């Protein structure tokens, strides 16, 4: 039984082969998107400390102690935010993970708050750069909350509408980035 013969490859042949492999791989990849086209970069606008400058949802107990802060998570692919206001028995706190689901081309927000809410909000950035999300009932799919987040420089305006059988309620909070 004869054994196959292996011929040593010349350095030139190896270089040509490697070049062809690299060119073939580059040709089969989709073109690289500019950073401004990456939705996850839009979420990075949430990073940093913010303070409330206007609120139409009603009185916030101890509003001066309100904080909203975002930090990068998951190696820069997500943002983790904490929001709180009040103190003691009046303390309200919400913690959220914001991420972009590239497969579905959606922004997903997983929220847990001190009122016992555990929810997922799903949405996308519109052409103007606003993030629009909806929270729906898991059993019926009914719309429970429609939110819009719009950035203008160091100002973030969050509006939300809560539809119900008796009529919708709505409000807005305006945040300014702390310097």
Domain 35-177 class, CATH top level: mainly beta
The region of weakest confidence among 14-18, 75-79, 85-89, 115-119 is 14-18
Dihedral pair phi/psi, residue 178, rounded to 5° = -75, 140
- The reported pTM is 0.70
Q: Angle at the Cα of 46 (from 43 to 50), degrees rounded to 5?
A: 170
How many whole angstroms separate alpha carbon 1 and alpha carbon 133?
69
The HSE-up count of residue 106 (CA atoms within 13 Å, CB side) is 11
Alpha-carbon Rg of the chain, whole angstroms?
24
Least confident segment among 49-53, 59-63, 89-93, 162-166: 59-63
Please give the share of the chain, as a percent, with pLDDT higher than 70: 70
- The answer to whether 56 and 172 have CB atoms below 8 angstroms apart is yes
Measuring CA to CA, how many Å separate 135 from each of 13, 33, 165? 58, 29, 16
pLDDT at residue 147, rounded to an integer: 94
Distance of CA 72 to the CA centre of its chain: 10
Q: Which residues lie closer than 8 Å to 139 by C-beta, 6 or more apart?
A: none
Confidence category of residue 111, pLDDT binned at 50, 70, 90: very high
Locus of tokens 């420089």: 153
CA distance 50 to 29: 39
pLDDT in tens, 124-146: 988 888 999 999 999 999 999 99
Q: What is the pLDDT averaged over residues 22-39?
A: 43
């Amino acid at each position: 039984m004869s054994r196959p013969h292996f011929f040593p490859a010349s350095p030139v042949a190896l270089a040509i082969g490697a070049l062809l492999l690299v060119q073939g791989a580059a040709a089969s990849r989709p073109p690289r998107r500019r950073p401004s086209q990456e939705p996850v970069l839009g979420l990075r606008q949430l990073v940093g400390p913010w303070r409330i400058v206007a609120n139409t949802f009603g009185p916030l107990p101890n509003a001066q102690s309100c904080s909203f802060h975002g930090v990068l998570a998951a190696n820069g692919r997500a943002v983790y935010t904490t929001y709180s206001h009040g103190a003691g028995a009046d303390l309200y706190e919400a913690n959220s993970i914001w991420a972009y689901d590239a497969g579905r081309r959606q922004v997903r927000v997983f929220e847990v708050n001190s009122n016992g809410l555990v929810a997922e909000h799903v949405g996308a950035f519109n052409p103007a750069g606003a993030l629009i999300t909806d929270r729906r009932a898991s059993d019926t799919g009914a719309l429970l909350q429609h939110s819009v987040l719009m950035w203008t420089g160091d100002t973030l305006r969050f509006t939300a509408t809560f539809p119900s059988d008796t009529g919708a309620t709505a409000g807005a909070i305006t945040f300014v980035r702390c310097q």
